[in-house]
């Protein structure tokens, strides 16, 4: 059984460039009174709210990912579609959700990394692999439910 964490509040980290569920994160975080860090390579609009902080990082590969991975820890929640970032955050003990509500877990991340590697290889050989499915209303609903569940798991870990 996991021992409760010391009194560090749950924080939510959003890998914001191209994240379609930022508004949902803000709404749920407000309901729970949680701090949200919105990490991007350029300026994006965030609501004027002291619990939502926009963090603009330098341009460059993995700069936003590094910022998130260096800060996310056990009991925090990370929202990203980036599989290598999800892996790094899981190693730190964070809960990780994709924007479609798909949770990344320690038991599923290996397969996700492997599939990503296969798809990269196919693309490098000129194979047309298509992109992800379009974001659908069902994805938004699934995300909201998964975020609620992740927050409640984190609260239980913290003994709250």
Q: Which one of 3.40.1280.10, 3.40.50.720, 3.40.50.300, 3.30.2090.10 gives the CATH number of domain 11-105+143-157?
A: 3.40.50.720
pTM (2 d.p.)? 0.83
- Per the rule left: phi > 0, alpha: psi between -120 and 50, beta: everything else, 148 is alpha
CB 148 within 8 A of CB 28: yes
Q: What is the pLDDT of residue 160?
A: 57
Residues of the chain with pLDDT under 70: 1-7, 107-132, 159-160
So what's the pLDDT on residue 156?
87
Please give the Cα distance from 32 to 38 (Å, whole number): 17
Q: What are phi and psi of 101, to 5 degrees?
A: 90, 0
Sheet holding 52-56, edge to edge: 52-56, 35-40, 11-15, 77-79, 95-97, 103-104
pLDDT of residue 1: 52
Q: Which pLDDT does position 61 carry in this prediction?
A: 83
- pLDDT given at position 140: 92
Continuous H helices in 92-134: 109-124
Q: How far apart are CA 95 and CA 135, in angstroms?
A: 22
Q: Report the distance separating Cα 14 and Cα 46, nearest Å.
A: 12
């Amino acid at each position: 059984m996991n021992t409760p964490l010391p009194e560090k509040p749950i924080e939510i980290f959003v890998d914001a460039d191209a994240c379609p569920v930022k508004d949902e994160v803000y709404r749920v975080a407000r309901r729970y009174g949680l701090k949200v860090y919105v990490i991007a390579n350029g300026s994006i609009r965030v609501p004027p709210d002291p619990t939502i902080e926009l963090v603009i990082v330098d341009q460059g590969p993995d700069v936003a990912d590094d910022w998130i991975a260096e800060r996310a820890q056990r009991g925090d929640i990370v929202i990203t579609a980036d599989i290598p970032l999800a892996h790094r955050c899981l190693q730190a003990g964070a809960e990780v959700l994709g924007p479609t509500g798909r949770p990344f877990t320690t038991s599923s991340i290996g397969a996700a990394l492997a599939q990503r590697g296969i798809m990269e290889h196919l693309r490098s050989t000129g194979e047309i692999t298509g992109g992800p499915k379009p974001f659908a209303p069902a994805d938004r609903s699934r995300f909201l439910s998964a975020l609620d569940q992740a927050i409640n798991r984190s609260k239980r870990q913290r003994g709250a």
